[in-house]
Amino acid sequence: MNRPRVLVTGGSGFIGGTVLPLLRAEEVRVRVLAHRRPPSRGRHLEVVDGDLTDPASLRGVCRGVDRVLHLASYIGKDEQRCLAVNADGTRHLLAEARRAGVSGFVQLSTAAVYGNGPFRGTAEGEAEPRPVSATSRTRLAGERLTLGAGGAVLRPYLVYGRGDQWVMTGLLRMLRALRSGLPEKGSALLSLTEVGTLAAALTRLALTAPARQAAGVFHACPPRPVSLRELVAATHQHLGFPLLRGDQPFERARQELVAAGCDGHLLDLFGVDHWFDATRLRTVGGCAPGPGLSAGLAAHAAWYRERLL
């Protein structure tokens, strides 16, 4: 059987590290664009050097490639670096893909491009993106280039699991600072996606969905949101995080966070409704909904406990 060849960027990152074993299990021929942290080599895996910010270094990386999984991004406050990687880097990669005649281009983005919310069961096309950070602004700019070229963009909200350096760290920091209790009884509803489920969706969309259907924006979220209160209870049970039982108004919680030296934006991430309808991904891509939060956290509990507590 003639297996496709897939170029993967960001293969050594949080999501890429889970995607690569799935591709290799499918016996797909994988070419990984490596910059600073090359992944371990193995069967059906080719590693090539290149830098998204340097177009000359990308020449030929898509030659002989059928699909591109663009997972690389820069997350930080350096706006110039964000622009160079997330927007211009995507433009450079798309140019190479177009030159090589690549038949499918799938990019990982984030639902953070929508801004601070609230969002309640929001489907693709129902909300205008209003990003509030340099990372989100430039990832949205990169998205628009991909969509303009007929590619697909996946937007998860909060992604957790082995390799996560942001979500549970931020939640733990917030819980340790909020001594008076959760904002608004922890009623905010959130879309949390387990990393293996997201990796499977990316893999399936890139390999199996017809190119004409696997285009546009896809929310990559589970069918049911969880409340902040449920999230706190689950992380207490599986990860040993603090269990907050009290209640306080939203703005008082923000003041408490800031007084404790935390970024008040944590409250916008966890304390405001951010849940998104992902019916399109499950319909077009045939993607499974994945485990519930409790089962997902249990699967990654040992990794988190070793690093966070």
Q: How much is the pLDDT for 292?
A: 93
**CB-based contact 171:206 (threshold 8 Å):** no
Q: 165: pLDDT confidence band, cut at 50, 70 and 90? A: very high
Q: Which helix (H) or strand (E) holds 4?
A: none
Mean confidence (pLDDT) of the chain: 93
Per-residue pLDDT band at 168 (split at 50, 70, 90): very high
Give the domain extent around 36. Answer: 5-308
Q: Which residues contact 127 (CB under 8 A, 6 or more apart)?
A: 114, 119
- Detail the DSSP E strand segments found in the chain: 5-9, 29-34, 45-49, 67-70, 104-108, 119-122, 152-155, 158-160, 182-183, 189-190, 192-194, 216-219, 226-227, 247-248, 274-276
- Spell out a b/e string for 196-214, using b for 16 or more CB atoms within 10 Å of the CB, else e: bbbbbbbbbbbbebeeeeb
Contact 280, 219 (CB under 8 A): yes
Q: What is the pLDDT of residues 261-301, one digit of tens each?
A: 999 999 999 999 999 999 999 998 888 889 999 999 999 99
Question: How does residue 309 score in pLDDT terms, banded at 50, 70 and 90?
Answer: confident
Strand partners, 32: 8, 47
Beta strands 192-194; 158-160: pairing state? parallel
Give percent of the chain above pLDDT 70: 95
Whether residue 40 has pLDDT greater than 70: no
In this predicted structure, the answer to whether residue 41 has a pLDDT above a threshold of 60 is: no
Q: Give the pLDDT score at 3.
A: 73
| pLDDT computed for residue 190 by the predictor | 98
Confidence (pLDDT) at 284? 87
**More confident call, 35 vs 212:** 35
Distance in angstroms (rounded) separating the CA atoms of residues 247 and 227: 14
pLDDT digits (tens, 9 = 90+) for 109-129: 999 999 999 999 999 999 999
pLDDT tier, 39 (very low <50, low <70, confident <90, very high otherwise): low
Domain count, the chain: 1
Q: Provide the percentage of residues in the chain whose pLDDT is more than 90.
A: 84
- Contacting residues for 185 by C-beta, under 8 A, at least 6 apart: 229, 247
When computed from its CA atoms, the radius of gyration of the chain, rounded to whole angstroms, is 19
pLDDT in tens, 208-241: 766 667 789 999 999 999 999 999 999 999 999 9
Would you state the pLDDT for residue 202?
95
More confident: 4 or 163: 163
Confidence at residue 211, expressed as pLDDT on a 0 to 100 scale: 64
pTM here is: 0.94
Per-residue pLDDT at 1 exceeds 50: no
Q: Which residue has the tokens 């000359």?
A: 56
CATH number for the domain spanning 263: value is 3.40.50.720
- Summarised one tens digit per residue, pLDDT across range 50-97 is 999 999 999 999 999 999 999 999 999 999 999 999 999 999 999 999
